A and B are shown apart, each in its own frame.
Chain A
Amino acid sequence: MSNSPSPAKAIALISGGLDSMLAAKIVLDQGIEVEGVNFYTGFCVEGHTHAIRKRQQSKPKRNNALWVAEQLGIKLHIVDVVDEYKTIVLNPKHGYGKNLNPCLDCKIFMVGKAMDMVGFHGSQFDFAVTGEVIGQRPKSQRRETMPVIARESGAEDRLLRPLCAKNLPQTLPEREGWVNRASLFGLSGRSRRVQMELADKFGFEDYSQPAGGCCFLTDERYSRKLQDLWTARSERSYELDDIVLLKIGRHIRPKPNYKVIVAREDGETRFLQGYRKQFTNLRIASNRGPLALVDGKPEAQDILTAAKLVARYSQREFERESIVRIQYVDGASEELSVIPFEPHEVPDQWHVGV
């Protein structure tokens, strides 16, 4: 790490949103060498499938953290923290926000991981940079949580928040003269006006501003689906495949012992095909229709219900019955002729997360 005023190096947490982009830019403009880091938790909105992207065809199909780093002209490191992150989601020391979002623990974790990158790949970073703004987020970005994050992450005074630094005590990079405090900002609250003005000033266009942040755990429906998974399994645990599948398809639970995941479009069907060896799966044989996976321990009668559900979402023409092909995990297969459920035969409470 540097002991002299320059050159200092900073590692900036890049979410893909505007605030972290601005924070990194402010530090870059002070002559600091900056690299970015983005942590992949499995819950990241950035981790899109083509299927999910297809639903938003008017928007560019891109990873916003990568896009931000390119705009800034900095290197970005994307780090897989899926396994380590489970502790944060399952047992957050500071609790959850409105949904299953452990935002304060998450920020502490990510800043701590960024601090671990001192010495990463031969690089030496002197301090970490985040796009936090006091009062911006109800769970993690409050005046009283700022020192908690700095302390519990281990960053202490090596954590610089350029957008709200003037509202906080001086940090090491300011005291050492690596960055000029006068060029930092004193933002607070939920207004985005100054950030938008700064974006204009820096010439940033087409930046991402996800309403719920960059994490599916802030999404009410997604959180309900995750809670449903834990309830059905009678334990709070998950694997990456579990949380990825919660992002895809209709999740329908007719009974506690199983649920059916029905693809909503061709892209989702194509993606779910990758899971055919892990799950009993169903597909319409007689006409076009989606692929569906059965998660849990269904009984024979449940497979019939699942088949009627899949037929319900197929492109039906004039025939009354549909042939559904069922492929079991043990390799066995069969075909069932079923009368598709009518919409009113699928109770609202079967739809998980809705």
Chain B
Amino acid sequence: MTEVDARGTLCPMPLIRSQDYARNADSGGEFMLLATDPGVYQDIPAWCRMHGHKIVSMEEENFLIRIVIRIA
């Protein structure tokens, strides 16, 4: 699975990197966002609701947040 690495960046950069990846990816495909800013807990679900993407999973370990997103 493609990893979109936004570790060490602040929101909205994780969202921008997800958006830029999703724009050029196939519908139905999945990617994993790697982030460290907890702002993604609010921003990524809001962005997914808005554009019809689905959050498949979301987990955090040692301040590293992994979110798997299915592209609309």
Contacts and interface: CB of A to CB of B under 8 A. Distances in A.
A66 interface: yes
Interface in A117-132: 121
B10 A78 contact: no
8 contacts: A47-B13, A48-B11, A61-B38, A62-B42, A78-B16, A79-B16, A270-B63, A274-B36
Contact residues of B: prevailing secondary structure: helix
A50 B38 contact: yes
B46 interface: yes
A142 B51 CA distance: 36
Given A67-B46, A76-B50, A78-B19, A46 B10 contact: no
Contacts of B12: 38, 40, 44, 46-47, 63, 66, 78
Nearest to B63: A270
Contacts of A38: 12
Given A69-B50, A270-B63, A274-B36, A77 B19 contact: yes
Contacts of B51: 75
Interface residues of A, number: 29
B70 to A, nearest CB: 18
Contacts of B63: 270
Contacts of B36: 274
A63 B50 contact: no
A49 B49 CA distance: 22
Interface of B: 7-8, 10-13, 15-16, 19-20, 23, 36-39, 42-43, 46-47, 49-51, 63
Nearest to B38: A50
Interface in A173-221: none
Contact of A48 (B7, B10, B15, B49): B10
**Which of B7, B12, B13, B16 counts the most chain A CB atoms within 10 A?**
B12
**Which of A61, A66, A74 counts the most chain B CB atoms within 10 A?**
A66
A95 to B, nearest CB: 29
Contacts of B39: 48-50, 53, 61, 63
Interface in A65-94: 66-67, 69-70, 74-80
B10 A66 contact: no
A48 B50 CA distance: 20
Interface string A281-319: 000000000000000000000000000000000000000
B8 A274 contact: yes
A124 to B, nearest CB: 17
A244 interface: yes
Contact of B46 (A66, A77, A79, A244): A66
Contacts of A274: 7-8, 36
Contacts of B47: 66, 76
Nearest to B16: A80
Contact of B10 (A70, A77, A121, A244): A244
A7 to B, nearest CB: 20
B42 to A, nearest CB: 5
Nearest to A60: B42
A161 B10 CA distance: 31
Contact of A78 (B15, B38, B42): B15
Given A48-B11, A80-B16, A244-B10, A70 B38 contact: no
